[in-house]
Amino acid sequence: MTSHVQLPEPTAEIIAVQDDLVTLAPLENAPLIKNEVVYIIPHGPEREGKPREYLKAEVLRVRGKSAEAQVFESTAGVRVGDKVIQSGEMLSVALGPGLLSTVFDGLQNPLADIAAEHGFFLPRGVLTNALDQKRKWAFEPKVKAGDPVMAGDTLGTVPEGRFEHKVMAPFTLTGSWSVERVREGTFTINEVVITLRNDRDETRDLTMVQHWPVRRAIPEGLVRSGQSERLYPREPLITTLRLIDTFFPIARGGMGCIPGPFGAGKTVLQSLISRFSAVNIVIVVACGERAGEVVETITEFPHQPDPSGDGTLMDRTVIICNTSSMPVAAREASIYTGITLGEYYRQMGYDVLLIADSTSRWAQAMRETSGRLEEIPGEEAFPAYLDSAIKGIYERAGVLKTATGDTGSLTMIGTVSPAGGNFEEPVTQSTLGTVKTFLGLSSERAYKRFYPAVDPLLSWSRYQGQLGDWYRENIGPDWVPRVEEMIELLRKGDEITRMMQVTGEEGISTEDFVLQQKALFLDMVYLQQDAFDDVDVSAPLTRQQETFDLVYRIATTEFAFGDKDAVRTFFTEQTSTFKNLNYSADGSNERKDLLEKINRNLHAAPTRMNQA
């Protein structure tokens, strides 16, 4: 059964209601604070067998002695005179053991616990604790009596699945504190495990859980001066997707976006990234997508093995689930909840990936709330502060060196759903001005079954040069120049293809046709990747390098074909062989035979070298 939250007595009341926006006034002299969480108690007798409803809301704007708050649930039945409880706290999340493998809503309510107690039709006004209050954890202290303690220091650890969960000193801790008493053993998250004492002889009891306001980033400089710093991202996030890792890399601790129209494959692409990326923790934020897509993630992850070989994908995943049928305000809060959880695990020294699907729904929720507040609108009625809000979210990603010398990272990839695939709309444009990797999906490529349908002529990555040193040290000095050469080949091939659409094949030279076929060959065998093949679904970097070297060799060979039919025959056969090569397992006899066949065909082809 779910444990309910205890609340103080009401100190304010409703004086106006407009959809999910309410106006409050204090009953006494209790001040109303911006971003404070309040609870509305709808008027009327409690129904038999039903608990009292507490509707959670957040104060958005304070005007004199009154304030306007957005309610995170339906306001049906709420009326003037209903009492309001002030929590005195910002909208916050609970940080402690038990977050992994859990499905929360945007306000960190555990959906499985609520469903177990109330059924699958979630009632409104139910207050729950985010973390299990009865489960016991084996706490192993990392400090002893007399040790000095500062905010963010590791006080102890508990095993959370296969991860070591660090219990840290509260991020709000200030002043000079030292450990007075330490307990070791098995405890619930609310039992006192450590007692601190400061230089004023005040004591403070600490448990394994703390709270942090979601709209504020957890500061990087929490821990001891000189031992914690924000680092420049210098390593790629290996996704095992050839198109991303080779052509449009995302830095570990960096920012990327995947905009695209309906049906272009955003959901499959983000699922592949979350499944196979080389990270410790994955946080999936469904901030307003359709329920079907969310259900797919929830049902598949517990049964799919973790690429690390230890447990399932769900063991390393937190899902924040707010579908398009859920209240607007909760959808808007969900992305802040997810990124705060990501910062928490980064603070432990883990590599975290946050997938937000989609930030367009989040921005639309902001637009609806802004409209009800009667704020001056910006382009397409989005709030004028849309650009700064998007930047504020993505800039919370980054790489952090912790007090223990570990390096943690938070990589954020947001999907964008522009109406009609229009990349000029405000959400996409604001996102493009913030992120450093743009993976633009194309409905035309999706129609041709070119998956992933990322258009290489629209997409770009500013990390390519930034990660140059890593590529030179780990792959080779020629990697980046060769990649740039292949992107240029794709551009030239597209120009020739467009010319052929006007003039036909007879309107271009054999040399131009060879160039066009090389670009098509590169696209077909390297940029496309089969998400439903057990081998091709994930290509480790070493396998990518081997395939790319072969493709590059063919793409840069100066052929001397006599006519266009010979050109077409050669590249059709090579494309078919390479497709089979992509499906063959490393070290298999099939792969060895295919490599030999590719080399034979290449040696037999007429080139300027052997023609001479």
Q: Rounded to an integer, what is the distance from CA 272 to the centroid of its chain?
A: 12
Distance (Å) of CA 445 to CA 74, 250, 263, 358: 41, 22, 11, 21
Fold for 137-208, please state it.
OB fold (Dihydrolipoamide Acetyltransferase, E2P) (2.40.50)
Domain with CATH 1.10.1140.10 in the chain: 479-611
Domain with CATH 2.40.50.100 in the chain: 137-208
What whole-number distance in Å separates Cα of residue 371 and Cα of residue 386? 13
What is the pLDDT, as a whole number, of residue 119? 79
Structure tokens at 78: 């709420």
Beta bridge partners of 168: 154
Per the listing, tokens 């091709």 go with 536
Sign of CA dihedral 291, 294, 298, 301: positive
**Does residue 150 have a pLDDT over 50?**
yes
Q: Is 288 left (phi over 0), alpha (psi -120 to 50) or beta?
A: left
Query: What are the pLDDT digits (tens) for 233-270?
Result: 999 999 999 999 999 999 999 999 999 888 888 888 99
589-604 and 564-583 helices cross at what angle (nearest 10)? 160
Answer whether 608's CB lies under 8 Å from 558's CB. yes
What is the pLDDT, as a whole number, of residue 49? 53
Q: Does domain 242-474 have CATH number 1.20.1250.20?
A: no
Q: Rounded to an integer, what is the distance from CA 24 to the centroid of its chain?
A: 35
- How much of the chain, in percent, has pLDDT values that exceed 90? 67
Q: Where are the alpha helices (H) located in 305-454, listed in sequence order?
A: 328-347, 359-372, 386-394, 426-432, 443-447
Segment holding 18, helix H or strand E: strand 12-18
Residue 557 is labelled as binding a ligand: no
Residue 44 is labelled as binding a ligand: no
What whole-number distance in Å separates Cα of residue 471 and Cα of residue 33? 50
Each residue of 175-205: b (16+ CB within 10 Å) or e? eebebeebeeeebbbeeebbebbbeeeeebe
Residue 606 is labelled as binding a ligand: no
Contacts of 424 (CB under 8 A, 6+ apart): none
Residue 266 is labelled as binding a ligand: yes
Architecture in CATH of 12-118: Beta Barrel (2.40)
Residue 260 is labelled as binding a ligand: yes
386-394 and 328-347 helices cross at what angle (nearest 10)? 30
Residue 265 is labelled as binding a ligand: yes
Q: What is the mean pLDDT of the chain?
A: 90
User: How many C-beta atoms lie closer than 10 Å to residue 536's C-beta?
Assistant: 18
What is the pLDDT, as a whole number, of residue 1? 37
**Does residue 284 have a pLDDT over 60?**
yes
What is the pLDDT, as a whole number, of residue 180? 96
What whole-number distance in Å separates Cα of residue 421 and Cα of residue 312? 35
Q: Cis peptide leading into 442, omega within 30 of 0? A: no
Selected residue with higher pLDDT from 29 and 349: 349
Query: What are the pLDDT digits (tens) for 513-559?
Result: 999 999 999 999 999 999 999 999 999 999 999 999 999 999 999 99
Q: Is 342 left (phi over 0), alpha (psi -120 to 50) or beta?
A: alpha
Answer whether 94's CB lies under 8 Å from 130's CB. yes
Query: What are the pLDDT digits (tens) for 395-436?
Result: 999 999 876 678 999 999 999 988 878 899 999 999 999 999
Answer whether 375's CB lies under 8 Å from 385's CB. no
The DSSP code sequence of 555-573 is HT--B--SSHHHHHHHHHH
Answer whether 102's CB lies under 8 Å from 150's CB. no
Selected residue with higher pLDDT from 91 and 302: 91
Q: Cis peptide leading into 228, omega within 30 of 0? A: no
Question: Which phi and psi angles does 374 have, rounded to 5°?
Answer: 60, 40
What whole-number distance in Å separates Cα of residue 121 and Cα of residue 115? 7
Beta bridge partners of 40: 55, 84
Q: Rounded to an integer, what is the distance from CA 145 to the centroid of its chain?
A: 40
Domain with CATH 3.40.50.300 in the chain: 242-474
Query: What are the pLDDT digits (tens) for 49-85?
Result: 566 889 999 999 999 889 999 998 888 889 999 999 9
Residue 604 is labelled as binding a ligand: no
Amino acid at the residue 429: Q
Domain with CATH 2.40.10.170 in the chain: 12-118
Residue 262 is labelled as binding a ligand: yes
Segment holding 304, helix H or strand E: none
Domain 479-611, CATH: 1.10.1140.10
